[in-house]
Chains A and B, each alone.
Chain A
Amino acid sequence: MLTYLLRRLALALATTAAVVIITFALVHLAPGEPFLAGAEGRFVPPETVARLRERFGLDRPLAVQFVRYAGNLASGDFGESFARHRPVAEVLAEALPNTLLLGGAALVLSLLLGIGLGMAQAARAGTWADAALGTVALACYSVPSFWLGLMLLLVFGEWLHWLPVTGMADVALRAPVGALHHALDVGRHLVLPALTLALVNGAAVARFHRAAMIEALDADFVRAARSRGLGEGRVLVRHALRSALAPAITLAGLSIPALLTGSVLVESVFGWPGLGRVAYEAIFARDYNVITAVAVVAGVLVALGNLLADLGVAAADPRVRRA
């Protein structure tokens, strides 16, 4: 178990390193000047640009810059954001929790939706109900997430006025805001964006889980349980579910990249102040340090997600541990 864990950790580190190197190279090799981004409608003299380049060390050779950056990274210094005039670590520290909240809620929701749907389909495998549910799942899986988000916003936000339309919280609340009140407020704002991500991801989980459940329901030990007279419900939940759960957890872990990238579009539509939005703006503002930092964070999250998924599977299934 320990060697397995160490190997996976080494892989996670290698992954992060690769992400950093690739992003750093891409960003610094791209044509265009970083300090012109805030210049809409006015002229920025070349001397100013040269001065700023020197200040941020962009006039040194690329390899030197990278070594300096890597060294800083190792000690937790992500550099300074050109556009926001503050340490990148602060920018990340503000945005990351919001994205994690959204991603986490979407993940949980998609697992619930997906496993629930998959189980419901597996129990009725082959019937028209199965086909109908499957089509709904497929439709959710095939629709662009930004489109789905816009539709949900239209229906629940504007037509029905059930849920807030933008942002993470009600900005006009007067301080001090009670913790419970704040949590409920954020929760209400979380529903639509998390649902958008969860519907798309949950459909994938459902497809996967249905297949896994059907396979599990057909296995020998389940048939044995049935022959012992156990009710279908118990068979479903106790026996089949456990062995089908591991692939579902793996899929959940592997969904993390999709959730992260989906969050760029969803955060844009719903005005959710998360990392996806920060990354998008940083790319257009050529905020090198922020872009690279986001790539690092994304790489780490993905590697962690894979690691956790693998560990979850290994914990659940002893055969894997020895592999």
Chain B
Amino acid sequence: MRLTAFACALAIALAGCARREAGGSAGPTGGTLVIVATGDADVLFPPSGAVTTSADVAGLVFSRLADLTFDLNTVDDAGFTPQLARSWEHADSTTLVFHLDPRARWHDGAPVRAADVAFTFDVYRDTLVDSRFRPNLDAIDSVTVRDSLTAVFHFRRWYPEELYDATYHMKVLPRHLLDTIPRARLASSAFARAPVGSGPFRFVRWEAGATIEVAADTANFLGRPKLDRVIWRIVPDLGSAVGALVAGEGDAIEVIPPAELRARVRATPALRLVPFAANAVAYVAFNLTGRGGKGVHPIFGDRDVRRALAMGIDRATLVRSLFGAEGEVPVGATARAQWIWSDSIRQLPYDTAAARRLLEARGWRPGPGGVRWKGGLPLRFTLLYPTTSRIRQDAAVLLQAQLKPLGVDLRLQPLEFTLFEQRSVRKDFDATFQARTLDASPASVLQLFGSEGVRQSNYGSYRSAAFDSLTRRAIAAPTRDAARPLWREALGALNDDAPAVFLLSPPMAAAVHRRFAGVRIRPDEWLAGVAAWFVPPGDRLPRDR
């Protein structure tokens, strides 16, 4: 009995050693990364996943045709690195040809073909699938198959970010596993709960509400990842999640907004904070029209009043109070992760004296209750924010106290998220506290503040021909150097008109266990570089073995 057990143990140990050497790539392989996530995935079907954890897992299990590099250059072709596509060329201004790597394989062994790419485009565009990426693919007219390894993208018109749109939004899907499933049922199919991709990790298991596990794809054509396993542990409460990290039950977490929790991580010797460029911005958008989108708002229809309010807010104190010393004041409708970010963008200064003068000049005089009045109307308005966002709630409380001495009566209205969305979309608000995780591409700002976005995400109905034309020219600029000055001007013009006040850009810092080496975080997808993370053999913990 004991002899058999010993023999088994020996065999397993030997097999383990053999496995490690057959990897092929130099460097130590092995190790388990346990990620603590505050939300469970909803579906692991890339077109439909709507929560961060879904995107994180899909990013490891699936691949793109080509991926961005760490400097997030979405304009130049040099900013992309081959993945499923070995090379590509612009046949003409509206045609992009991709040559797939013949070694690429799905995790079930089948080869990746151009037909998969065409199928993927079809699925992402299908209204029955209702992918949230559909609008991003508007500029692509069609995807055709030239031969089994060549896929051709046809665009409606030329623009510099063709390669970005062709590669970034879509994770390539296996046609042979999905084309028999009715499109409307794809998100609820078995595949969506046990996906098969072509990425560096293959799916292992998903216990709802508890854990998701993926394991290294040792036969991957781009080389196996160094780590053996990546496991997500789902802990809904952020405080408890950080507690799990501190107690050693987890190795990494993407972001910890509150400064106090970050302090806990700092106080734990085994953990370190890896900061990366912020990619989200929270702003208070004013409704320039009356309720429901008609007419002119009695307070915010006046550009000078908006400018006065913007100048009366001490953003630096707000940010310091919420985020501690790492907090940074946003420069405008952008964040550090975007290549258009620049600290030379024109902003309104914090100047309460100037704010007061401007309000007086526009007829808002101090009145009863310490509130300013004009023509029988008090300077009183309601700020909507979703109950799901603790940061915005705290910022709103600080804002209320800041505006009070200025004679502004700010009322807070927390709403459950879908009600918040509804009222924002229907323009049934005075001011709404929005937050956006910005795309790597700056073009999306047109949706938020361009005239074309008034029926969609431009809740405040801001219209400016100057801003529109500046932005369009910036988007059409062929190189980043040509585009940068145009973007600076556009965002500066936006700040001048103050249709919104850009209040917060939460500092991003991942907490990662010190034993992990080779850690680089890409701001748009923090796990994009995880295939290169490794654990030196001397630092391994029991769960790494």
- Check whether chain A touches chain B (CB < 8 angstroms): yes
Query: Is A277 an interface residue when CB atoms closer than 8 A count as contact?
Result: yes
Complex: A39 Cα to B456 Cα, angstroms: 13
Q: Which residues of A sit under 8 angstroms from B130, Cβ to Cβ?
A: 48, 51-52
- Do B422 and A157 touch across chains, with their CB atoms under 8 A apart? no
| 12 A/B residue pairs, CB under 8 Å, sorted by A | A33-B418, A40-B417, A43-B425, A46-B425, A55-B184, A166-B235, A167-B234, A167-B235, A171-B211, A273-B209, A277-B236, A278-B209
- Our pick among B34, B187, B249 for the contact of A85 (Cβ within 8 Å) is B187
Complex CA gap A32/B229 in Å reads 41
Cα distance A286–B420 in the bound complex, in angstroms: 13
Mark out the residues of chain A between 248 and 274 whose CB falls within 8 Å of any chain B CB in the assembled complex: 268-271, 273-274
Q: Residue B435 at the A interface, CB < 8 A? A: yes
B window 177-230: CB within 8 A of A: 184, 187-188, 192-193, 207-211, 213, 229
| B140 adjacent to chain A (CB < 8 Å) | no
A39 touches B435 (CB 8 A): no
On chain A, the residues within 8 Å of B213 by CB distance are 171
Q: Which 9 A-B pairs have the closest CB atoms?
A: A273-B209, A38-B50, A172-B543, A271-B235, A171-B211, A85-B188, A36-B418, A32-B418, A85-B187
| Chain A neighbourhood of B50, CB < 8 A | 38-39
Q: Which of B42, B417, B435 contacts A83 (CB 8 A)?
A: B42
Bound-state CA distance A286–B211 (Å) is 23
B457 touches A (CB below 8 Å): yes
Pairwise interchain contact B246-A158, C-beta atoms closer than 8 A = yes
Residue of A34, A42, A44, A45 ringed by the most chain B CB atoms within 10 A: A42
Known: A41-B435, A284-B388. A94 touches B419 (CB 8 A): no
Interface set, chain B 393-425, CB cutoff 8 A to A = 416-419, 421-422, 425
Check if B289 is an interface residue, CB within 8 A of chain A.
no
Q: Is the CB of B231 within 8 A of A166?
A: no
Known A43-B447, A84-B43; further 14 A-B contacts with Cβ < 8 A: A44-B421, A46-B425, A51-B130, A84-B42, A84-B208, A94-B207, A94-B209, A158-B246, A161-B247, A271-B233, A271-B244, A277-B236, A284-B417, A286-B418
Judge whether B240 and A51 touch: CB under 8 Å: no
Per the bound structure, the CA–CA distance linking A48 and B133 in Å amounts to 13
Contact A167 B210 (CB under 8 A): yes
Is B296 an interface position by the 8 A CB rule?
no
B211 surroundings in chain A (CB, below 8 A): 167, 171
Nearest residue, chain B, Cβ from A172: B543
Chain B nearest CB from A247 CB (Å) reads 37
Determine whether the beta carbon of B233 is less than 8 Å from that of A270: no
Chain A residues whose C-beta falls within 8 Å of the C-beta of B76 in the assembled complex? none
Q: A171, B240: Cβ atoms under 8 Å?
A: no
Which residue on chain B has the smallest CB distance to residue A55?
A: B184
Of B132, B208, B419, which contacts A42 at CB under 8 A?
Answer: B132
The answer to whether residues A171 and B210 also contact, given A36-B422, A166-B233 and a CB cut-off of 8 A, is: yes
Q: Contacts A43-B456, A273-B234: A166 and B240 contacting too (C-beta < 8 A)?
A: yes
Least CB distance from A238 to B in Å reads 46
**Smallest CB–CB gap between A174 and chain B, Å?**
8
* Docked complex Cα distance between A168 and B34 (Å): 15
Chain B contacts for A172, CB-based, 8 A: 32, 34, 229, 231, 543
Please, how many angstroms separate the alpha-carbon atoms of A306 and B440 in the complex?
Answer: 57
Contact B457 A43 (CB under 8 A): yes
- A171 touching B51, Cβ below 8 Å: no
Contact between chains at B208 and A38 (CB < 8 Å): no
Contact B247 A157 (CB under 8 A): yes
Q: How far is the CB of B430 from chain A (nearest CB, A)?
A: 19
Distance (Å) between the CB of B256 and the closest chain A CB? 15
Q: Check A169 for interface membership: any CB of B closer than 8 A.
A: yes
Tell whether A118 is near chain B: CB-to-CB under 8 Å.
Answer: no
Please report the C-alpha to C-alpha distance between residue A42 and residue B234 in the assembled complex, in whole angstroms.
24
CB neighbours of A32 from chain B (8 A)? 416, 418-419, 422
Is A70 interfacial (CB-CB < 8 Å)? no
Interchain nearest-CB distance for A57 vs B (Å): 14
Query: Are B210's CB and A85's CB within 8 A?
Result: no
User: Taking the complex as formed, is A86 at the interface, i.e. its CB lies under 8 A from any CB of chain B?
Assistant: yes
A-contact bits for B74-85, CB 8 A (1 contact / 0 none): 000000000000
CB of A309 closer than 8 Å to a CB of B:
no
Report which of B193, B209, B236 forms a contact with A86, defined as CB distance below 8 A: B193
Nearest-CB residue, chain A, relative to B133: A42
A152-170 to B contact mask, C-beta < 8 Å, 1/0: 0100011001001111111
Q: Is the CB of A168 within 8 A of B437?
A: no
A87–chain B nearest beta-carbon distance, Å = 8
Nearest B residue to A281 by beta-carbon distance? B236
Q: How many A-B residue pairs have CB under 8 A?
A: 135
Q: B247 contacts A165, CB within 8 Å?
A: yes
Q: Which of B132, B209, B210, B419 gathers the greatest number of chain A CB atoms within 10 Å?
A: B209
**Category for how many chain A residues contact B:** 35 or more
Decide yes or no whether A31 CB sits under 8 A from chain B. yes
Q: Which of B208, B388, B437 counts the most chain A CB atoms within 10 A?
A: B208
Does A37 count as interface, using CB distance less than 8 angstroms? yes
Q: Residue B237 at the A interface, CB < 8 A?
A: yes
Chain A residues near B436: list those with CB within 8 A: 41-42
Q: Does B324 contact A (CB under 8 A)?
A: no
Residue of A nearest to B248 (CB): A161
Contact B236 A271 (CB under 8 A): yes
Alpha-carbon distance A323/B386, docked complex (angstroms): 54
Whole-angstrom CA separation of A169 from B34 in the bound complex: 13
CB distance from B483 to the nearest CB of A (A): 24
- The minimal Cβ–Cβ distance linking B133 to chain A, given in whole angstroms, is 10
Cβ contacts under 8 Å, A37 to chain B: 417-418
Closest to B128 in A: A51
Q: Which residues of the partner chain B approach A89 to less than 8 Å between Cβ atoms?
A: none
Give the CA-CA distance A278 to B209 in the complex, in Å. Answer: 8
Give complex CA distance A43, B135 in Å: 10
- Chain A nearest CB from B337 CB (Å) reads 14
Q: Which of B192, B243, B421 is A166 in contact with, Cβ under 8 Å? A: B243
Chain B residues near A157: list those with CB within 8 A.
243, 247
> Does B192 contact A85, Cβ atoms closer than 8 Å?
yes
Question: Is residue A95 contacting chain B, with contact meaning CB distance below 8 A?
Answer: yes
B505 at the interface (CB under 8 A from A): no
Residue of A nearest to B41 (CB): A84
Q: How far is the CA of A55 from the CA of B183 in the complex (A)?
A: 13
Cβ of A91 within 8 Å of any chain B Cβ, yes or no, is yes
Cross-chain contact A40 with B247 (CB below 8 angstroms): no
- Residues of chain A within 8 A (CB-CB) of B543 are 172
A31-B419, A36-B422 given; A153·B231 CB < 8 A: no
Tell me how far the C-beta of B544 lies from the nearest C-beta in chain A, rounded to whole angstroms. Answer: 9
Instruction: Confirm or deny: A80 has a beta carbon within 8 angstroms of a beta carbon on chain B.
Output: yes
Contact mask for chain A residues 39-74; partner B; CB cutoff 8 A; 1 contact, 0 none: 111111110100110010000000000000000000
- What is the chain A residue whose CB lies nearest that of B424? A43
Which residues of B have CB within 8 Å of A42?
132, 436, 457
CB of B48 within 8 A of CB of A85, answer: yes
Contacting residues of chain B (292-343) with chain A, CB-CB under 8 angstroms: none
Give the residue among B207, B234, B243, B244 with the most A Cβ atoms within 10 A. B243
Q: How far is the CB of A176 from chain B (nearest CB, A)?
A: 12
**A64 to B241 alpha-carbon distance, docked (Å):** 43
Inter-chain contact A36/B417, CB cutoff 8 Å: yes
**Any A CB within 8 A of the CB of B127:** yes
Question: Contact between B188 and A86 (Cβ–Cβ < 8 Å)?
Answer: yes
Q: How far is the CB of B183 from chain A (nearest CB, A)?
A: 12
Report the separation of the CA atoms of residues A86 and B187 in the bound assembly, to the nearest whole angstrom.
8
Looking across the interface, which residue of chain B has its beta carbon closest to that of A47? B127
- List of A residues within 8 angstroms of B280 by Cβ: 41
CA A271 – CA B193 in complex, angstroms? 21
Q: Is the CB of A165 within 8 A of B244?
A: yes
- Determine the chain B residues whose CB is within 8 A of the CB of A55 once the complex forms: 184
> Which residue among B187, B236, B416 has the maximum number of chain A CB atoms within 10 Å of its CB?
B236
As a 0/1 sequence over residues 118 to 133 of chain A, the CB contacts with chain B under 8 angstroms (1 = contact) are 0000000000000000
Give Cα A52 to B418, complex, Å.
15
Closest to B35 in A: A171
